[in-house]
Structure 1
Amino acid sequence: MSGDGVEGSDNKPKPKLKLYNYWRSSCSHRVRIALNLKGIEYEYVPVNLLKGENHSPEFLKLNPVGYVPVLVDEDFVLGDSFAILMYLEEKYPQKPLLPADLGKRALNYQAANIVGSSIQPLMNLGVVKFVDEMCGANEHIGLVQYYITKGFTALEKLLKDRAGKYATGDEISLADVFLAAQIYGAVKKFNTDMAPYPTLSRLNEAYNENPAFIDALPSNQPDTPATTS
């Protein structure tokens, strides 16, 4: 949660970025990874989704849709993890997450969007609660597992002949930031069997050896409960 400070023209450290997030949110998780990779110092501001703090009037002023994460950079406020990642990529170009090669860059967008549009939204706490309220307790499990399987199968096919040490080569990229958070959530929250996805499993092993990824893990956040389910 810390990195190299950025100094202003008066040689005084600029205010830290603030990241409003929740320990278990995969969208928050992916932004924490990117901040760590780029060595950007930030203040961790916990938002307890289980207590509905994301629907408070104060939080809705930051993000009217009521989702985490939200990044505050002095007087600039930005919600949505993909938008935040693109903002960080433009403002802090050190250790870029997007390859210079156009084809690899496009591949990163494709992999990130499979996660961001075809898997993660169906695992969202709000969706899970809505399905259970409408259809009965734990009815969300089958739905979530279906979309995890569909998405991971697609990602395995997409990356198996393109991956190097990481998703699209031997350098960490945007796709890895999305994959790491989603694989963690799928395994820890929904007991997903990764055996059918050898490429994704190999990539996950690399993530689990990298300090920037380790520091960003949900289990290592200040708002992580002492006992988690």
Structure 2
Amino acid sequence: MSAVAAKPILYSYFRSSCSWRVRIALALKGISYDLVPVNLVKDGGQQFSAEFKALNPMKQVPALKIDGITLSQSLAIIHYLEETRPNPSLLPQDPKKRAQVRMIADHIVSGIQPLQNLGVLKQIGERKMEWAQNYISSGFQALEQILQHTAGRYCVGDEVSMADLCLVPQVANAERFKVDMGPYPTITRINKALLELEAFKVSHPCRQPDTPAELRA
């Protein structure tokens, strides 16, 4: 079987919000793949193994083997899927809306998520809950304002976009860190609408091959 024809392989951790973004994109685009779980906590973190480091020198999930190449970084992966498998599209045709989608996605993947990921929280130690709540809340305050201008049914208008793929996993993180979602009605409404869609359900952390029994739904 040629490299291009081989089934894609996704290296993922059930709880990783970055992995979840890619799982949603694969589900929306109807791309079947094999999943290789990488447990970020077990064995001191399987992402630090020599084998995985050869796949992704950043020692992070997700990584996707597809079309004979290995890609890391969730947005780079999603952009590649968008360019090679354009239907359904995750970027609007209109340049202004497209820019808004990228802005919201970047806001989450650069401005919120890295500040409360596993590696950072390990360094913070005992204050990690307070730290995570603080950075998610300040990010959500800005995001709520932005979405009041861009949202329709979803983050930008009425079509599911790359921004939505970033939003849902970040709201799940907020809930895990017990962030009060009361001040963010727009984020809450959009998140609820997205979680009703099949692609968001099948890719959910509670339904992955590596989800622990007690967290399965």
Shorter chain as denominator, the TM-score bin is over 0.9
**Aligned equivalents of 2:173, 2:133: Cα separation in 1:** 12
The count of corresponding residues between Structure 1 and Structure 2 is 212
Question: Shift in Å at residue 74 of structure 1?
Answer: 4.4
- Over the residues paired in the alignment, what is the CA RMSD in angstroms? 1.5
Question: Shift in Å at residue 84 of structure 1?
Answer: 0.6
Task: Supply the AA of the counterpart residue of 2:21.
Answer: R
Q: TM-score, normalization: structure 1?
A: 0.89
Q: TM-score, normalization: structure 2?
A: 0.94
Runs of 4 or more consecutive aligned structure 1 residues displaced over 4 Å after TM superposition? none
Q: Pick one of 54, 63, 68 that aligns with 2:56.
A: 63
Post-superposition Cα deviations, 1:60-94, rounded to whole Å, max 9, x if no partner, equal 00000100000001430011111111111111101
Task: Supply the AA of the counterpart residue of 2:73.
Answer: D
Q: Pick one of 205, 208, 218 that aligns with 2:192.
A: 205
CA contact (8 A) 2:133 2:178 kept: no
Residues 16-55 of structure 1 correspond to what in structure 2 (within 5 A)?
16-51=7-42, 52-55=45-48
Q: Pick one of 201, 211, 215 that aligns with 1:224.
A: 211
5+ residue gaps, structure 2: none
| Greater mean deviation of Cα atoms: 64-73 or 155-164 | 155-164
Post-superposition Cα deviations, 1:140-161, rounded to whole Å, max 9, x if no partner, equal 1121111101111111100113
Q: Secondary structure of 1:122's match?
A: helix
Post-superposition Cα deviations, 1:117-164, rounded to whole Å, max 9, x if no partner, equal 1110012111111111xxxx2x11121111101111111100113211
Post-superposition Cα deviations, 1:151-192, rounded to whole Å, max 9, x if no partner, equal 1111110011321111101110011000011111211x2012
Whichever structure has more helix as a proportion of its residues is 2
CA contact (8 A) 2:10 2:64 kept: yes
**Aligned equivalents of 1:35, 1:192: Cα separation in 2:** 29
**Aligned equivalents of 1:148, 1:173: Cα separation in 2:** 21
Which residue of 2 is the match for residue 15 of structure 1? 6
Which residue of 2 is the match for residue 5 of structure 1? none
5+ residue gaps, structure 1: 1-7
**Aligned equivalents of 2:181, 2:188: Cα separation in 1:** 6
Q: Pick one of 173, 183, 186 that aligns with 2:174.
A: 186
